[in-house]
Structure 1
Amino acid sequence: MNVFGIGLPELAVIAAIGLLVFGPKRLPELGKTLGRTLKGFQSASREFEQEFRRAVDSVEAEVASADTSTAELTSAELPSADLPSSELARADASPAEHSPAAGAEPGSTAPAS
């Protein structure tokens, strides 16, 4: 038996000292009080651990959801993936040819001079 790093011989010495200090009448009462206190600490510790585990599980679920969303986005097929490289080069160049010149008014097709 090892409670808080205290073995059976140490516990017997502590009990003997307690018996001498508090006497045989008060020792059972102190034992009950100590037992209730330890039980309260254990239940508070258990409750804290459960709450901590719930919080960690919640964060892990959010991270897993984010990883899944990221994987879905990166694995999604892009429309340009099926085009030959010559068409990709033409598609990259075409927006520059059709974009309005800098300084041109919206709606006008004449180049700015």
Structure 2
Amino acid sequence: MTAVFLNSSFLILQDIGMSELLLIAVVVLLLFGGKKIPELMRGLGKGIREFNDAKNNVRQEIEEGMREKPVQAAAPATTDAPHTSTEDAPLPKA
């Protein structure tokens, strides 16, 4: 099963047919039992909801950052000290 991410959230399910989904459902039912499945699905739904909320928050922050005006560059710092060149200075005697 190979998947390339596009705009679809369910692209992973593209290569899974109805028989595979039925097999997965039977295995989950056998492993966890009928009473535990609703609790598992609630947990899965909560996890997906939290993931989507976090994804939307990141997207919103990025969009807000792109809408902000760019900060103007600060003027270059100047020093009051005179500029001296080391090329013209006499070498010390050894």
TM-score scaled by length of structure 1: 0.46
TM-score scaled by length of structure 2: 0.53
For residue 3 of structure 1, the aligned residue among 3, 10, 29 is 10
Task: Give the Å deviation of 1:56.
Answer: 1.5
Identity, % of aligned positions: 31
Name the CA shift for 1:18/1:48 in 2 (closer, same or farther; >3 Å).
same
Name the CA shift for 1:15/1:34 in 2 (closer, same or farther; >3 Å).
same
CA distance in 2, matches of 1:8, 1:26: 25
**Structure 2 stretches lacking a partner, 5+ long:** 1-8, 73-94
What SS does the corresponding residue of 2:33 show, helix, strand or coil?
A: helix
Alignment RMSD = 2.8
Number of positions where the alignment pairs a residue of Structure 1 with one of Structure 2:
63
| Larger relative contact order (Cα-Cα within 8 Å, sequence gap ≥ 6) | 2
Structure 1 segments, 4+ long, off by >6 Å, are none
Q: Which has the larger radius of gyration?
A: 1
